[in-house]
Amino acid sequence: VDGLVKHFPGKGGLFGKGPAVRAVDGVDFSVMKGETLGVVGESGCGKSTTARLLMQIARQDKGEIVFDGELLGSRALDLKAYRRQVQMVFQDSYASLNPRLTVEESVAFGPRAHGLSAAAALARAHDLLRRVGLEPRRFGGRYPHEVSGGQRQRVNIARALALEPRLLILDEAVSALDKSVEAQVLNLLTDLKQEFGLTYIFISHDLNVVRFMSDRVMVMYLGRIAEIGPADAILGTPRHPYTAALLASQPSTDPNARLEEAPLTGDPPNPINPPPGCRFHTRCQFAADVCRTREPGLDPVAPAHFAACHMAAAGSGHPKAPEVPLA
Ligand code: SF4
Ligand code: MG
């Protein structure tokens, strides 16, 4: 993903044309084949908009998407071919299913629309339902309202897999589930990833779940990437004050954990008019003069680890800088 920008037209003002909401405001990142990239940040940071742009449910104002070496929109990769390879599972398991279709019809729908015979599409649906733990004889003929939330999310996963995608975007896909059901679905996702050789983009506000699922983590703030790198580094030794504050704000599962960072207070500023300089400066306990005027670049701070903070560069004296100089 290179230079992705999406501004939504504003709705305020006398003529309903207020200033634009800068939902995604210049985002570059890669997802490696076979990995899970976790995406975190408060609501309004641009996580879901990024996902929708990747799905091409929304079109970017600027920027390019390259999939498996081919530029989206080029002759080698048209939208139709791309869309088959990228599927999404949303938080609301009910809203994403057609209430008039049975579970097996929902899963068979995509393959049927892509040219499989009715029998072949149904056979694929039954295979996938079995694979996500729903016995087709018992569940196939039920309607979405006749199964539980966890079962419905399994149906959505089966449906997302029905076109044999290579990249699955999970946007808060387990967030509405009870903790015990959530764990089952996370384990299912882990197994499916192995079995089908999938790549995941896993969006969640729950850092513990992201830690469990992700190889790398990307932290977003007000439409930009604050920090990206290996999951252990981002969630263990974060270098961006925003990431540190997010972690401090999470309810800890470790009763002996000490709060070393001030947790986040207040809401993020309005994405219509992000603060100048570093967008986080209005909430950052380390903000200096330079932070108010100059926007930090997303610079390397450790191997494969990048942070957009003036104070995070090696040897800067930032409290999170490593004691051992970087090689
Ligand atoms: Fe804080 Fe400055 Fe770093 Fe922004 S650039 S996160 S304001 S220290
Ligand atoms: Mg969201």
List, for residues 23-41, the tens digit of each pLDDT value.
Answer: 999 999 999 999 999 999 9
Please tell me the distance from the alpha carbon of residue 176 to that of residue 156, in angstroms, as a whole number.
14
ipTM of the complex: 0.95
- Least confident range of 12-26, 96-110, 267-281: 12-26
What is the band of 253 on the pLDDT scale with cuts at 50, 70, 90?
A: low
Q: What are the pocket residues of ligand 1 if the criterion is a CB atom closer than 6 Å to any ligand atom?
A: 240-241, 278, 280-281, 284, 286-287, 291, 296, 309-311
Average pLDDT, the chain: 90
Where are the chain's structural domains?
A: 2-214, 240-307
Q: What's this model's pTM, rounded to 2 decimal places?
A: 0.91
Atom of ligand 1 nearest to the CA of 288: 2
The pLDDT of 164-184, averaged and rounded, is: 94
**Long-range contacts from 281-287, C-beta under 8 angstroms, 24+ separation:** 283/242, 283/245, 284/241, 284/242, 285/241, 286/241, 286/311, 286/318, 286/319
Decide the pairing of beta strands 224-230 and 305-307.
antiparallel
pLDDT, one tens digit per residue, over 95-149 is 889 999 999 999 999 999 999 999 999 999 999 999 999 999 999 999 999 999 9
| 35-68: burial string, b at 16+ Cβ within 10 Å, e else | bbbbbbbbebbbbbbbbbbbbeebebeebebebe
What is the band of 257 on the pLDDT scale with cuts at 50, 70, 90?
A: low
Please answer whether residues 153 and 171 qualify as being in contact, where contact means their C-beta atoms are separated by less than 8 angstroms.
no
Cα distances (Å, whole numbers) of residue 87 to 14, 37, 184, 309? 39, 15, 21, 33
Atom of ligand 1 nearest to the CA of 291: 2
- Least confident range of 120-134, 178-192, 222-236, 240-254: 240-254
Looking at the CA of 170, name the nearest ligand.
Answer: 2
Q: Which CATH number fits domain 2-214: 3.40.1010.10, 3.30.420.10, 3.40.50.300, 3.40.630.30?
A: 3.40.50.300
Please tell me the distance from the alpha carbon of residue 168 to that of residue 36, in angstroms, as a whole number.
9
What is the band of 87 on the pLDDT scale with cuts at 50, 70, 90?
A: very high
Rounded to the nearest angstrom, the distance between the alpha carbon of 324 and the centre of ligand 2 is 38
